[in-house]
């Protein structure tokens, strides 16, 4: 192996990033760019698909320049992406038929209600491991086929391609030669049978989605195509693909059952490795595929590793709201000092249900709620309540995971932008009652994509070599008693009840 680097493309909800990693797992070049968010109606969230592609291409070139690297130095490209966001485009021209529907978009909540009333929710959960919710791609795709002019007819003629963001990037990188996804992303569509490892014809018929629009499903760590020479000055193998939360779990080296990580980004997502068999949650968590690795007899999608997952829809986005919506901070990194200027929240709670609630409530009609305000409440109390809300929601998820898996977690590995906030991490360990461990390389999501690509191309010899590069940077230890934890979580639950159902149609 003469090539020196892996290029990781990290396409997120609010920005596109790219990182060049060396053989030791160190970042050698970075590029990042925010892109526009569209909110055409309350509860609707959209992205411009072409802007996603162009911004990702631009930052990839920037990362290469910053690393002093050319295409000839890159062993492979790994891709990780915001999950569930739904795109459709013309196969012949590559032109999107509409803006992408972002995972936060709630417009299909009534469709989910109707499916639930018809008794289909149990079938969907049994096949896909997912709770019936507007969060996932399946009902978004069904909505687009029904409401985007010409989409249904183009799909029936076999002219339409559907994809999540990973599929869109692979399509563009390869000049339309490859239409594929991986098991981690496929398992987030509400269309993929995680037991049969294939798209479910039964669900496709239920949602009136033709199979012809769907991508092929390849292993998460496998060469699927090559980026055209025109993009980077030479061809580069595309050899790793995983949804952002699964990629972060891989990047945190959570390779053994019972290991778990929490990513603090726009949303907050906790995943626990449960091994080679899925666990059906009894606590409204998701059973999902972490990644599929090539293995003898494993099938075209690879051998799956399963996860339990709980999602908090608003984490870093709640801090952005403090900045952009309320204007009480000018930069997101100012929230820690402001929150630390008071000893506690003075019994103020923020339930940041701006796009509904995820696990364990799954209420698309919940809305953001600020309770406990008095004349003595200051912006510092609101800032501290915002950070605590992120930790409280995550603590509830871990309680559910312990119950479902029968495994008592010994530590939680953390990553994402907000994981650099020491106050938040101390809040988290206090509410969990287990240590919280922050790694030296905080870019776990991009690192996971790089790892998957590197393993497929021999850049790293195997999981053991890749895992050995993981190092802890800081370990936070809990300071609260069990009684303190339980009292705070009970008070939080009271606040959540005030937020639930607020936007339900009357």
Annotated binding site for sn-glycerol 3-phosphate: 13, 83-84, 135, 244
CA end-to-end span of the chain, whole Å? 64
Q: Which helix (H) or strand (E) holds 171?
A: helix 165-173
Which residues define the annotated binding site for ADP? 13, 17, 266, 316, 417, 421
Report CA-CA distances (Å) from 506 to 118, 188, 477, 502: 20, 30, 47, 10
Q: For residue 438, what are the β-bridge partners? A: 474
The answer to whether the CB of 261 falls within 8 A of the CB of 252 is yes
Which residues define the annotated binding site for ATP? 13-15, 266, 316, 320, 417
Nearest to 484 by CA among 392, 420, 372, 410: 392
Which residues define the annotated binding site for glycerol? 83-84, 135, 244-245
- For residue 43, what are the contacts with CB-CB under 8 A and spacing of at least 6? 105, 106, 107, 109, 355, 503
For the sheet containing 472-476, what is the strand order?
286-293, 303-312, 268-275, 260-264, 412-415, 436-439, 472-476
The answer to whether the CB of 6 falls within 8 A of the CB of 17 is no
| Rg of the chain in Å (alpha carbons) | 22
Using a 10 angstrom Cβ sphere, with 0-12 exposed, 13-18 middle and 19 or more buried, the burial of residue 149 is exposed
Q: Which helix (H) or strand (E) holds 474?
A: strand 472-476
Which residues define the annotated binding site? 13-15, 17, 83-84, 135, 244-245, 266, 316, 320, 417, 421
Kindly report the length of the chain: 506
DSSP state of 356: B
Distance CA 380, CA 338 (A): 5
């Amino acid at each position: 192996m003469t090539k020196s680097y892996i290029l990781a493309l990290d396409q997120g909800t609010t920005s596109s990033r790219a990182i060049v990693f060396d053989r030791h797992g160190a970042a050698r070049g970075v590029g990042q760019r925010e892109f526009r968010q569209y909110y055409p109606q309350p509860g609707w969230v959209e992205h411009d698909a072409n802007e996603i592609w162009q911004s990702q291409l631009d930052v990839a070139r920037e990362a290469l320049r910053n690393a002093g690297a050319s295409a000839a130095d890159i062993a492979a490209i790994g891709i990780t992406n915001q999950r569930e966001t739904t795109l459709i485009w013309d196969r012949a021209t590559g032109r999107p038929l509409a803006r992408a529907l972002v995972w936060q978009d709630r417009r299909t909540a009534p469709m989910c209600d109707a499916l639930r009333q018809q008794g289909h929710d149990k079938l969907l959960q049994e096949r896909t491991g997912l709770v019936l919710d507007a969060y996932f791609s399946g009902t978004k795709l069904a909505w687009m086929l029904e409401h985007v002019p010409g989409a249904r007819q183009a799909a029936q003629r076999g002219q339409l391609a559907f994809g999540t963001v990973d599929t869109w990037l692979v399509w563009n990188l390869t000049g339309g030669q490859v239409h594929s996804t991986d098991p981690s992303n496929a398992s987030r569509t509400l269309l993929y049978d995680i037991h049969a490892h294939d798209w479910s014809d039964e669900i496709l018929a239920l949602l009136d989605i033709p199979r012809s629009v769907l991508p092929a499903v390849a292993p998460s760590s496998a060469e699927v195509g090559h980026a055209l020479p025109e993009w980077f000055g030479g061809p580069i193998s595309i050899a790793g693909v995983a949804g952002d939360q699964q990629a972060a779990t891989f990047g945190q080296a959570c390779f053994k059952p019972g290991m778990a990580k929490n990513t603090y980004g726009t949303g907050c997502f906790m995943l626990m490795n449960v091994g080679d068999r899925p666990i059906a949650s009894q606590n409204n968590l998701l059973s999902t595929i972490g990644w599929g690795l090539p293995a003898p007899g494993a099938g075209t999608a690879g051998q799956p590793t399963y996860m339990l997952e709980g999602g908090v829809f608003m984490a870093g986005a709640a801090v952005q709201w403090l900045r952009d919506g309320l204007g009480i901070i000018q930069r997101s990194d100012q929230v820690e000092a402001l929150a630390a200027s008071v000893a506690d929240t003075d019994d103020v709670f923020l339930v940041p249900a701006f796009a509904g609630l995820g696990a364990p409530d799954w209420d698309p009609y919940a809305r953001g709620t600020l309770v406990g305000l008095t004349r003595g409440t200051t912006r510092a109390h609101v800032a501290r309540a915002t950070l605590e809300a992120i930790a409280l929601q995550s603590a509830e998820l871990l309680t559910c995971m312990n119950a479902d898996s029968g495994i008592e977690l010994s530590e939680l590995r953390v990553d994402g932008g907000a994981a650099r906030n020491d106050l938040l991490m101390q809040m988290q360990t206090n509410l969990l009652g287990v240590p919280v461990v922050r790694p030296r390389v905080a870019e776990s999501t991009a690192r996971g994509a790089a790892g998957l690509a590197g393993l497929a191309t021999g850049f790293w010899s195997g999981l053991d070599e890749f895992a050995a590069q993981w190092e802890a940077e800081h370990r936070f230890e809990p300071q609260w008693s069990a009684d303190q934890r339980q009292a705070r979580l009970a008070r939080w639950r009271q606040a959540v009840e005030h937020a639930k159902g607020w936007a339900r149609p009357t």
